[in-house]
Amino acid sequence: MLVFLIVFPLIIALCSLVIPWYQVRSWLLPIVSAVHLLLSGMLVLGRFPVTGDWIGLDALSQLVLVVTSVLFFGCAVYAVGYLDLRRDRGNQTMVPCLLIFLAVMTLAIAARHLGLLWVAVEATTIASAPLIYFNRNRLSIEATWKYLMICSVGIALAMLGILFIAYAALGGGTPVSLQFDTLLAQAPQLSKPWLHAGFVFLLVGFGTKMGLAPLHSWKPDAYGEAPGMIGALLAGGLTSVAFLGVLRGVQLMAAAGDGGMARQALLGMGLLSLALAAVFMVRQPDIKRLLAYSSVEHMGLLAIGVGIGGVAAFAAMLHLVNNALTKGCLFLAAGNVQRAYTSKNLAEVRGAIGALPVSGTLFLAAFLAITGSPPFGPFLSEFTMLRGIFGGEHYVIGMLVLVLLAMVFIGMGATVLTSTQGAPSATTAGFRDRWLLCISPLGFILLVLILGLYIPEPLREALQRAADLLEVHP
């Protein structure tokens, strides 16, 4: 069943290349993603076996799989309305690339072999590049090449990390295998210097795909030029998959008894990401570049949570869910606002709520959510993370995080509040809210609101199991 979950979108992607009807091709996206979401839920609930040497699911991958599937389904529904408006660009590239993107993300999530994980993550880069280039202008091709070059270099470094881990097994006198469960079992016998080097290269490689500072330079351009739904998939889906790759390295280090070193590295990169995002978000005029730096900020928070461990690691798992859903709402609503004003420069956007009552309100609500305002889910996950930081007596780190989060709120608020309030600008292009373009961001923000008020017990247990995997000791 897990193999079918990976292969099914690939088969439909091939079929979409020969289907002559435009609208039918577009509707393949929500149909395939609905099947994917249903099967993902059945796999996570244990209806089918999910273990194997090459692919399988543990608590971490189950969490990322469900989050990615939910996000993709919402974006697929949005895509039907979006592609109907963009018939001038066609959908013969967009639809198959999106389906291939879903398949390779699923493969990366399910991979239990480091070589297979590397291949799948590299395939996500190739599949998503045409999506970034969808608008086919000078800026989009520049963003696409920057994305390809920087991420490919990062993945090449991740390959070196995998080779170093293999050499760590050879140097430790154990049989060389890149099968992840075998590596976990052999972790105490691995050569420590080579294992440390391998982890550093994995962190740099997969951290580039996450967008951790200072490896984030592709994000503002790629998010700024890609369609809103592609930005949502990159910020909420692809980053979660790359984060899973980093967590595989953390698991290996913890199993080898060197979890402290891995956590210190994550903590340093997390704080740097949060600080850099806070600085660049102040007076940022471009709406999508603003959201790109917001993504850097939240990748930093995930790294900090895992770096602290304990309660903060649980909060990081919860924040992974909240970040993906909130980014989905933000990017989709921002895309609607950009379409109405034919500009992504917030200085030219005024009174978005008046011009687009639904999309403008959703954009404002998602801004409040992503900046950690109650009663939304990110507030709960960030509060829990701070409780773990101060509970672990990391007072300096806790104060730094609080100050930087306040800077982010002020930086985003200065532009978002100005653009959504007041009388609508006279330059709106006549675009109005449509249900296919509003139902997905509305669903995302409602889920985020529910998670801020109540965490269902099955989800709480899933988050705790995922966090526990990071605390494994030899």
What does the pLDDT read at residue 348?
Answer: 77
Question: Is pLDDT of 474 > 50?
Answer: no
What does the pLDDT read at residue 419?
Answer: 80
User: pLDDT tens digits for 296-318?
Assistant: 999 999 999 999 999 999 999 99
Lowest mean pLDDT among 112-126, 251-265, 280-294, 364-378: 280-294
User: pLDDT tens digits for 429-456?
Assistant: 567 888 889 999 999 999 999 999 999 9
* Residues 2-28, mean pLDDT to the nearest whole number: 92
Whether residue 102 is contained in a domain is answered as yes
With cut-offs at 50, 70 and 90, classify the pLDDT of residue 170. confident
Give the Cα separation of 180 and 199 in Å (integer).
14
Is the distance from CB of 126 to CB of 144 less than 8 angstroms? no
Question: Is pLDDT of 58 > 70?
Answer: yes
What does the pLDDT read at residue 329?
Answer: 95
In the structure encoding, which two tokens stand for residue 457, read together? 């017990």
User: pLDDT tens digits for 127-149?
Assistant: 999 999 998 888 899 999 999 99
What does the pLDDT read at residue 47?
Answer: 59
Concatenated DSSP letters of 357-410:
HHHHHHHHHHHHHHTT-TTSHHHHHHHHHHHHHHHTT-HHHHHHHHHHHHHHHH
Question: Is pLDDT of 48 > 70?
Answer: no
Amino acid letter for position 344: K
Instruction: Measure the CA dihedral 381/387/393/395, to 10°.
Output: 80
What does the pLDDT read at residue 439?
Answer: 95
Whether residue 474 is contained in a domain is answered as no
308: exposed, middle or buried (C-beta count within 10 Å: 0-12, 13-18, 19+)? buried
Grouping H, G, I as helix, E, B as strand and the rest as coil, residue 88 is coil
Give the Cα separation of 378 and 364 in Å (integer).
15
* Residues 281-285, mean pLDDT to the nearest whole number: 81
* Residues 356-363, mean pLDDT to the nearest whole number: 91
Instruction: Measure the CA dihedral 431/366/313/396, to 10°.
Output: 120
Is the distance from CB of 180 to CB of 112 less than 8 angstroms? yes
In the structure encoding, which two tokens stand for residue 41, read together? 């839920």
Is the distance from CB of 311 to CB of 330 less than 8 angstroms? no
What range does the domain containing 384 cover? 2-469
User: pLDDT tens digits for 221-277?
Assistant: 899 889 989 999 999 999 999 999 999 999 999 999 888 899 999 999 999 999 999
**Measuring CA to CA, how many Å separate 71 from each of 236, 321, 329, 421?**
7, 10, 10, 28
Give the Cα separation of 105 and 36 in Å (integer).
12
How many structural domains is the chain composed of?
Answer: 1
Question: Is pLDDT of 425 > 70?
Answer: no
Buried b (16+ CB within 10 A) or exposed e, 44-68: beeeeebeeeebbbbbbbbbbbbbb
Whether residue 49 is contained in a domain is answered as yes
Give every CB contact of residue 209 below 8 A, 6+ residues apart in sequence: 121, 124, 125, 151, 154, 155, 238, 239, 241, 242, 245
Helices 395-420 and 357-370, packing angle to 10 deg: 170
Tokens 């293999």 label which residue?
Answer: 166
Give the Cα separation of 449 and 374 in Å (integer).
9
284: exposed, middle or buried (C-beta count within 10 Å: 0-12, 13-18, 19+)? buried
**By C-alpha distance, which of 71, 81, 113, 76 is closest to 97?**
76
Whether residue 403 is contained in a domain is answered as yes
The model carries a pTM of 0.94
* Residues 149-175, mean pLDDT to the nearest whole number: 87
Mean pLDDT over all residues of the chain? Answer: 90
Is the distance from CB of 389 to CB of 363 less than 8 angstroms? no
Lowest mean pLDDT among 107-121, 167-181, 350-364: 167-181
For residue 98, how many other CB atoms are within 10 A of its CB? 29
**Measuring CA to CA, how many Å separate 23 from each of 71, 91, 152, 279?**
22, 9, 34, 44
Whether residue 337 is contained in a domain is answered as yes
